[in-house]
Amino acid sequence: MLALGKLLELTLAGHEPSAKIQLTPEGTRLRWLAEGALEVTPPVTCDNGQDLLLSAGIHGNETAPIELLERLLQGIARSQLKPCARILFLFGNPEAMRRGERYIEQDINRLFNGRHDQHTGNEALRACELEHLAANFFNKPERSRLHYDLHTAIRGSKIEQFALYPFQEGRARSLRELARLNAAGIEAVLLHNKSSITFSAYTYTQLGAEAFTLELGKARPFGQNQQVNLDLLEQQLRALIEEREEIAETSLDGLTLFAVSREVIKHSDAFTLHLPNEVENFSELPVGYLLAEDLSDTRWVVDQPGTRIIFPNPKVKNGLRAGILIVPAEDVQLA
């Protein structure tokens, strides 16, 4: 196996490889760009015009997606997986990965779309570097651009594998991409209704990629992900990389679409979230339920039937999102 196929090992050890470029016998090029960043370029005769960004480890303790990317990259380095697409593999927060922590000082996934300019520290610098790496990768015209940012969640979920689809004014969601997610085992997609500061929102709005945050189960340490079944996603990614997909482009059977009803923003240390600590993502809340309170008599009361909660977290910093209220999506514009 080519040494650059051991990107995870290099990243966890904090080592920079001496050889920055390696070729497989078939002519696929592996190029080390920066810590946790490796570009794969297929031979010109095999290139199908697809640029695929695969990122994981934006939160360092979300290891199942990191292990998935390692398997894909090692398959390429062993010539067992023969790409027809350009691929950029990114491990987002190397220091947090090494420590087994979600983040060190700041949540990197709240530092994109210019937000890192308002902060200092290594994670703000890393968010800036990730934007530059993505922008340089997606700089070739007339190519298809796709970004999957892979995560696992802090808590359990009634719908275990789901995606978040960023928002851009006037831009329709892609039926083909939703069908592709459906084929990969994604059970639900949350359609955002305003711009965001996540990595996938940056590549979607600023770089013109189709981009998704994928939540793939519950976060566990390295080597303890036996309960996180990523078989369908891995099969779909392998087929996408080798250009042998077989998906029903108009079939969304079994895929549920949700829309954001409201975001719950923590404004002060007085914020109180009226939910059990063990509440699961996608738990349904009854109309009239007092969900949260904050200063100045700020209250969040459930006012729509079918409302569910995702990402409840009262421990976030003031000014950040402490939960999202979602409802079944209606009249979705697809292209």
Closest alpha carbon to 127 in 201, 22, 51 = 201
Residue 103 near residue 68 (C-beta atoms within 8 A): no
User: DSSP assignment, residue 133?
Assistant: H
Please count the residues of the chain: 335
Distance (Å, whole) CA 44 – CA 41 = 8
Known active-site residue 215: yes
Sign of CA dihedral 13, 15, 17, 18: negative
CA distances from 259 to 6, 76, 146, 150, 159 (A): 39, 37, 22, 20, 15
Distance (Å, whole) CA 138 – CA 146 = 9
Return the residue matching tokens 């409802």: 327
For 67, residues 6+ apart whose C-beta sits below 8 A from its C-beta are 8, 222, 225
At residue 29, the 3 state secondary structure works out as strand
Identified catalytic residue from 39, 62, 129, 215: 215
Closest alpha carbon to 154 in 97, 104, 220 = 220
Strand partners, 24: none
Catalytically annotated residues: 215
